[in-house]
């Protein structure tokens, strides 16, 4: 009881002496620090586990431990999630999008640490995924739970979730602008200019804290890149198209493989199937082990031949076609490796795979062009390919451009990055309207977008607009009984329901019986079953509000009945009720 009193006094003191605006800025600073610390601890944990497991591996021999470590890591993660967490913590960014659009930006408290632990084990043991999505979920969970602790409103919670995501990206990559762009593009938070300030504070704070923890070096170190040249624009456009198509392959391939894994109901059968697939792929293609950032660094520094280390391809000589074929196969199989990791029980994201596949795609294309006598700077194409894949897979061209520039310090390549990112994005949106993050929710109508109308409809829930106070009629009722009900009712529609099974049968409209309701001689001649009509459409309880509005527009109806899956009558929805609810939500989220 004393704790509750202290808590209420603390909230009262805060409200009295610290304005809402000042408090949000303070929280954004704290969130930035905590997100950066989480990113540092996660990366350190992953590298420590990888060091302990693989430090003594020979560069020049095939290593059979690759058949064991990934399965062990996923098995440990599966046990942790199944028996400790007891909740789904996969697809971190998708879960954030779901929390924003469907859970009033509330993220469960355990997400502050559970995805962190699970992804460290998964990736440390060789899972072919990235640590970014788990740490973004961790940062967003920190923001959500801090806001919830201080009883802040839903709009502010959404902003703090974005602060956590910004801080996580800024902290893990030392890329403050990319952190901001990621939140605006990928999380699709539609904010005003003043609302962007807390995001910037979190991102910059996290980046500064990352510099304190890890030094001032860039994430990827390399020698030099050639300056932008107009003569290379056609080849950059070609790279953008290739990146867009590879992004399409990765997006659809991942989605298709995830569907196949979902058909396997037994979690240990999934582990066996996915674990064996992953281990075999890593055994034949060791660069698939873990995040793969070491491979990117080798390509950036001209050590592409060392990518063949520990593989069967090592004995095939130094022909450029060997490395081209080898890396092309890795681009193809990376989709299988990353999906096998997450779908069989591991935890990780698609951030690192996107960068990884992009670097290989850019290098392979440059290598092929150089084989045919063109002088293409391979480093430039590695960097541009990373930006292109990220833009395509995440539908986030600005994030791709600024992230690669900040990751590498390659700010003199902005034109190169902009061309490839833009062309890649334009290519994939011809085929896929949503990113891999968003498509899972978009298919269910649960995705919040920058479109104001769609965003408001997404935030509205069917159960909040259903009216259940209408008088229900039985089909056997006479016109005389109906007239008595009409005299006591304030409504002009009367649903007819089968009294035996509760199934909806039709509706009686006041306008349809007005001409006979004052003729007593007809009261026993007509029954409700003869007077009822079928509505132009019926609604299901699980429909999204966007779909509901489409049905209203298509039918021209003003009121429609709502039925459950068994066709039982639930209530009615009216356009006026929807518009009233719409105005309330719109006013709430437009008020700055």
Model pLDDT for residues 292-340, shown as the tens digit of each residue: 888 998 898 888 888 888 777 776 767 888 999 999 999 999 999 999 9
- Give the Cα-Cα-Cα angle 423, 257, 237 (nearest 5 degrees): 10
pLDDT band at 477 (very low <50, low <70, confident <90, very high): confident
Contact, 425 vs 416, CB < 8 A?
no
Q: Please, which pLDDT band fits residue 194 given cuts at 50, 70 and 90?
A: low
DSSP string computed for 105-138: T---GGGGTHHHHHHHHHHHTT-SSBSHHHHHHH
DSSP string, 416-459: HHHHHHHHHHHHHTTT-SS-HHHHHHHTTT----S-HHHHHHHH
Beta-carbon contacts of residue 508 (< 8 Å; ≥ 6 apart):
473, 482, 493, 494, 496, 528, 531, 532, 533
CA–CA gap between residue 20 and residue 370 (Å, rounded): 59
Report the pLDDT value the prediction gives residue 203, as an integer from 0 to 100.
Answer: 94
Q: How far apart are CA 436 and CA 476, in angstroms?
A: 53
Which H/E stretch holds residue 182?
helix 176-185
pLDDT-based confidence at 577, cuts 50/70/90?
confident
**Encoded tokens for 425:** 């994005």
Written as six digits, the tokens of 146 are: 């801090």
In whole numbers, what is the pLDDT of the chain averaged over residues?
84
Domains and CATH numbers, the chain: 2-214 (1.10.3080.10), 230-258+282-449 (1.10.3080.10), 456-590 (3.10.580.10)
| Residue with the larger pLDDT of the pair 233 and 555 | 233
- The predicted pLDDT at position 447 comes to 47
- Give the residue-averaged pLDDT of 166-188: 87
Tokens for 553? 């527009």
b (16+ CB within 10 A) / e for 502-523: eebbbbbeeeebeeebeeeeeb
**What's the token pair of residue 72?**
């062990």
For the entire predicted model, the pTM comes to 0.76
Q: What is the pLDDT of residues 406-456, one digit of tens each?
A: 887 767 788 999 999 999 999 999 998 877 766 655 555 444 444 444 555
Distance CA 71, CA 74 (A): 5
337-394: pLDDT as tens digits: 999 999 998 998 888 999 999 999 999 999 999 999 888 888 899 999 999 999 999 8
CA distance 20 to 398: 31
19 has pLDDT over 60 = yes
């Amino acid at each position: 009881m004393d704790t509750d009193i202290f808590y209420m006094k603390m909230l009262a003191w805060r409200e009295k002496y610290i304005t809402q605006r000042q408090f949000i800025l303070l929280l954004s600073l704290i969130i930035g620090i905590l997100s950066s610390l989480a990113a540092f601890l996660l990366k350190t944990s992953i590298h420590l586990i990888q060091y302990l497991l693989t430090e003594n591996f020979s560069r020049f021999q095939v290593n059979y431990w690759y058949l064991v470590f990934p399965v062990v890591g996923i098995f440990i993660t599966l046990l942790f999630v199944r028996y400790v967490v007891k909740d789904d913590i996969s697809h971190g960014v998708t879960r954030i999008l779901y929390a924003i659009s469907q859970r009033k930006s509330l993220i469960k408290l355990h997400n502050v640490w559970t995805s962190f632990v699970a992804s460290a084990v998964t990736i440390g043991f060789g899972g072919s995924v990235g640590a970014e999505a788990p740490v973004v979920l961790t940062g967003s969970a920190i923001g959500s739970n801090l806001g919830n602790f201080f009883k802040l409103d839903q709009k502010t919670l959404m902003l703090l979730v974005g602060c956590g995501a910004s801080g996580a990206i800024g902290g893990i990559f030392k890329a403050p602008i990319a952190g901001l762009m990621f939140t605006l593009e990928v999380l699709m938070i539609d904010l005003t200019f003043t609302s962007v300030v807390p995001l910037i504070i979190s991102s910059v704070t996290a980046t500064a804290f990352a510099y304190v923890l890890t030094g001032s070096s860039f994430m990827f170190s390399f020698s030099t890149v050639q300056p932008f040249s107009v003569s290379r624009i056609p080849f950059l456009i070609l790279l953008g198209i290739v990146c867009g198509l590879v992004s399409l392959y990765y997006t659809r391939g991942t989605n298709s493989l995830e569907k196949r894994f979902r058909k396997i109901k037994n979690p240990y059968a999934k582990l066996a199937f996915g674990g064996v697939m992953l281990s075999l792929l890593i055994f034949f293609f060791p660069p698939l082990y873990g995040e793969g950032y070491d491979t990117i660094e080798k390509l950036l520094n001209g050590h592409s031949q060392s990518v063949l280390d520990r593989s069967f391809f090592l004995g095939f000589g130094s022909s450029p076609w060997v490395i081209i074929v080898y890396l092309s196969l890795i681009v193809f199989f990376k989709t299988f490796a990353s999906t096998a990791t997450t779908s069989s029980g591991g935890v990780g994201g698609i951030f690192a795979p996107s960068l990884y596949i992009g670097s290989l795609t850019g290098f392979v294309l440059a290598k092929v062009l150089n084989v045919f006598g063109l002088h293409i700077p391979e480093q430039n194409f590695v960097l541009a390919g990373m930006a292109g894949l990220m833009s395509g897979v995440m539908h986030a061209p600005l994030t791709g451009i600024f992230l690669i520039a900040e990751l590498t310090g390659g700010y003199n390549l902005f034109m190169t990055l902009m061309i490839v990112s833009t062309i890649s994005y334009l290519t994939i949106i011809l085929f896929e309207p949503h990113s891999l993050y968003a498509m899972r929710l978009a298919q269910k109508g649960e995705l919040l977008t920058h479109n104001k109308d769609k965003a408001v409809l997404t935030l509205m829930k069917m159960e909040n607009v259903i009216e259940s106070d209408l008088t229900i009629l039985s089909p056997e009722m006479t016109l005389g009984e109906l007239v008595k009900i009409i005299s006591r009712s304030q409504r002009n529609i009367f649903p007819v329901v089968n009294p035996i099974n509760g199934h909806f049968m039709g509706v009686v409209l006041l306008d349809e019986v007005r001409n006979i309701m004052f003729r007593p001689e007809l009261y026993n001649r007509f029954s409700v079953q003869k007077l009822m009509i079928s509505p132009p459409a019926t609604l299901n309880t699980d429909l999204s509000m966007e779909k509901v509005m489409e049905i209203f527009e298509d039918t021209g109806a003003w009121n429609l009945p709502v039925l459950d899956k068994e066709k039982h009558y639930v209530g009615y929805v009216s356009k006026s009720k929807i518009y009233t609810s719409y105005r309330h939500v719109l006013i709430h989220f437009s008020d700055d």
